[in-house]
Structure 1
Amino acid sequence: MGSRMNKEQYMRILAEQLRSLSLAERNELLYEYEAHFAFGIQSGKTEEEICSELGNPYEIVQEVLQERNEQHRSHSRDNNYNYRQEPISQKYKKQSSSSAISKVFLSIAFGFLTIIVFPFGISMWAIWFSLSAASIAFILSPLLCFADFMMYSEFVPAKWFAAVGLFGLGLVLAPNIKSVFKGLLRMTAGYCKWMAGVVRGGKSS
């Protein structure tokens, strides 16, 4: 059949048999075969020879349609797969949204606690340093009183009585200040550990 066909007959069969395709697909295929004919004629071949080389147009159409059907089925399977996966992606979106909301509330709570706890901790440490300085000064008060006596050679019983009293008060304060120091140290370390855990948790989420 193909050996007696010319270009017009061959192309007409292709156009008629490819009507099930879209206009764009049909024109694309017809353009390719038009190019085959143009190239063959430039090479010195006749239209009949080119038709014979191209093969039976009905078989070509059958192969083209079969290939297009397989592509459509593959595309349909991909769409179904994406549709089935959509709820999972929505789930991840919800989880991401929930995680973002949690981060916002966590940041607010973290900032609020930092505003309250941090100044409180600074104040406690300032009080501890003040008491420590006072305790040291109380313990050293007899030495200061003795230095005053050596400089001015003036003995004032009230000063010595006060110095002895302050010395005793300093000795009483010293152990308590040590206990307070340990408590503040544990509190500060615990707060820093908690804050580091919150920061790491926020980054990992």
Structure 2
Amino acid sequence: MVQSKFMSQLKAQLQDLPKAEQQDILYDYEEHFRSGLEEGKTEEEIAASLGQPQAIAREVKEEFRGKEAKPKPSADSVGKAILVAVALGFFNLIFILGPFFAVVGVLISLFAASFALLLFPFALLFSWNQLSGSADWLIGVFAILASLGAGVLIGVGSIFITRWFYRLTMRYLQFNVKMIKGRQG
């Protein structure tokens, strides 16, 4: 099929679309032919690679109808979204915000405790010369090892809990957004 026949069939299939949309689509396919000819392809090869004009027009029309079918916000839907946002705001303020800050406080405390336990051995080492006798020395070594172990364990646990809490918070915020937009689920 040559370019003129392809383009005339495509134009005939696109008649029920607005003129501006038709011109854009036809221009795009003219560009396909122009670039294909520059690459040394024949008009028949280009037309065969593009497909049947009827199939192209059907896809273009479906896409155009899909764009037109998107819901436009109405006063009713905007009002519902505002009502849901206000209700969620009060709910979040009363029932969610307090526990959220409590968990954040606990996480900060865990990180602070981990940091303190990791710093304790250094403080103990600076006062090492005050330890006298072999029994005090062994207690100091045990305290250093216990402090380092507890600090590392609490720190690693805090990191995992923080990651879990972050994911949970993001899921809850996404749920709030879906509720405001009016989608279930």
What is the TM-score normalised by the length of structure 1? 0.41
Bigger-Rg structure (1/2) = 1
What is the TM-score normalised by the length of structure 2? 0.45
Query: Which structure ranks higher in relative contact order (CA pairs < 8 Å, sequence separation ≥ 6)?
Result: 2
More helix by share: 1
